């Protein structure tokens, strides 16, 4: 606090005239562009979702809640919600557990740890579209790596057309997302694990805490904030994933991998029903905003506790 008080004296006082406008000038480009490109579309999306948009005649008519009524009464939407929930479940559970597993591994000392840590970055560094393609190669029915592996090991006689099966298709599109999120989760969790002071463990040992107790009351307790953040990120991704699914299946086979985001794309850019597209956008936005708000609250609180 003293530093802050001191800051407001002499030099600052003397340059009082420049303090007034400098911050506004510095902020202007960021704020103006954010308002134009993020906030104004946000307001517009809300308006569009209550409108019927005729692109050909360039006419927008207000129709109240009709889009939402149509959306919520359509079987397609609820199917997308159901599919998306299953998808998100895998994208939350698998990366969080595997990420924790790999992070715990890479905090140990062993030959090869450096290679492991570097390799861990790789999935995270790849574009989603490439991750979709990679997993296409893994699950392909004619030359897929997984089929090849199972065949080489003698576990199957014939290659399995995974992506023609609705359940496998959903499972593997989710696994592609889980693959990348595992790296992301492990990187964050590893960074958190590295900050645990070693003497906490020593003290606990002296007090007679067993390995399980030490894991639960020191390791997990220490990384809990990071674990929460990782969970929230994975949940949000579970609802916003589009790229990797689009390149793998485009929502198929049938509608088996039609996430809400895929539905949004179909309404907006295949049917060109922008009003309905906007309605789906808002539903999706509300879901992720809900998660996001929890996230901001949690981080904001943890920030104020250590400052």
Residue 165: partners with Cβ closer than 8 Å, 6 or more residues away: 253
Least Å distance between CB 76 and other proteins? 18
Q: Which of 68, 151, 168, 222 binds other proteins (CB under 8 A)?
A: 151
Cα(113)–Cα(194) distance, integer angstroms: 14
Using the rule CB under 8 A, is 56 a contact of other proteins? no
Q: Which is nearer to other proteins, 161 or 292 (CB)?
A: 292
Using the rule CB under 8 A, is 19 a contact of other proteins? yes
Residue 51: partners with Cβ closer than 8 Å, 6 or more residues away: 60, 61, 62, 63, 67, 275, 278
Number of H-type helices and E-type strands within the chain = 16, 2
SS3 294: helix
What character string, x for contact with other proteins (CB under 8 A) and - otherwise, covers 102-121? x--xx-xxx-x---x-xxxx
Q: Which is nearer to other proteins, 76 or 121 (CB)?
A: 121
Applying the rule CB under 8 A, the residues between 213 and 232 that interact with other proteins are: 225-226, 229
Applying the rule CB under 8 A, the residues between 175 and 194 that interact with other proteins are: 179, 182-184, 187-188, 191-192
93-to-98, 119, 121 alpha-carbon distances in Å? 8, 22, 20
Using the rule CB under 8 A, is 129 a contact of other proteins? yes
Using the rule CB under 8 A, is 10 a contact of other proteins? yes
Burial of 75 (0-12, 13-18, 19+ CB in 10 A): exposed
Using the rule CB under 8 A, is 62 a contact of other proteins? no
Using the rule CB under 8 A, is 17 a contact of other proteins? no
Cα(116)–Cα(112) distance, integer angstroms: 6
Cα(52)–Cα(55) distance, integer angstroms: 10
Q: Which of 15, 59, 224, 301 binds other proteins (CB under 8 A)?
A: 15
Least Å distance between CB 305 and other proteins? 12
- The strand pairing partners of 59, in sequence order, are 54
Least Å distance between CB 74 and other proteins? 18
Least Å distance between CB 85 and other proteins? 17
Q: Which of 77, 128, 162, 172 binds other proteins (CB under 8 A)?
A: 128
Applying the rule CB under 8 A, the residues between 65 and 94 that interact with other proteins are: none
Q: Which of 177, 181, 249, 261 binds other proteins (CB under 8 A)?
A: 261
Using the rule CB under 8 A, is 247 a contact of other proteins? yes
Kindly give the residue spans of alpha helices, DSSP state H, lying in 126-273: 128-139, 145-152, 166-193, 198-206, 211-214, 221-240, 243-248, 260-265
């Amino acid at each position: 606090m003293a530093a802050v008080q001191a800051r407001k004296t002499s030099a600052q006082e003397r340059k009082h005239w420049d303090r007034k406008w400098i911050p506004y000038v510095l902020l202007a480009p960021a704020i103006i562009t954010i308002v134009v490109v993020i906030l104004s579309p946000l307001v517009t999306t809300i308006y569009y979702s209550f409108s019927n948009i005729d692109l050909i005649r360039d006419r927008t008519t207000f129709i109240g809640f009709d889009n939402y009524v149509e959306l919520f009464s359509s079987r397609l939407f609820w199917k997308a919600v159901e599919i998306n929930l299953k998808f998100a479940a895998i994208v939350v559970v698998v990366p969080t557990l595997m990420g924790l597993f790999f992070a715990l591994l890479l905090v140990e000392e062993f030959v090869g740890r450096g290679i492991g840590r570097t390799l861990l970055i790789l999935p995270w560094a790849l574009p989603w579209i490439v991750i979709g393609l990679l997993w296409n190669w893994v699950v392909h029915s004619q030359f897929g790596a997984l089929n090849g592996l199972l065949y080489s090991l003698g576990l199957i006689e014939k290659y399995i057309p995974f992506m023609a099966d609705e359940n496998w298709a959903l499972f593997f599109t989710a696994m592609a997302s889980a693959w990348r999120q595992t790296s992301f989760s492990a990187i964050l969790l590893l960074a958190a694990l590295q900050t645990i002071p070693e003497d906490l463990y020593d003290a606990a040992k002296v007090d007679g805490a067993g390995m399980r107790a030490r894991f639960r009351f020191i390791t997990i307790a220490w990384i809990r904030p990071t674990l929460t953040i990782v969970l929230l990120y994975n949940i949000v991704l579970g609802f916003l994933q589009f790229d990797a699914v689009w390149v793998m299946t485009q929502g198929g086979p049938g509608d088996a991998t039609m996430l809400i985001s895929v539905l949004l794309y179909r309404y907006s850019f295949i049917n060109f029903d922008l009003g309905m597209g906007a309605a789906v956008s808002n539903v999706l936005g509300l879901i992720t905003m809900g998660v996001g708000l929890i996230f901001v609250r949690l981080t904001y609180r943890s920030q104020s506790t250590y400052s």
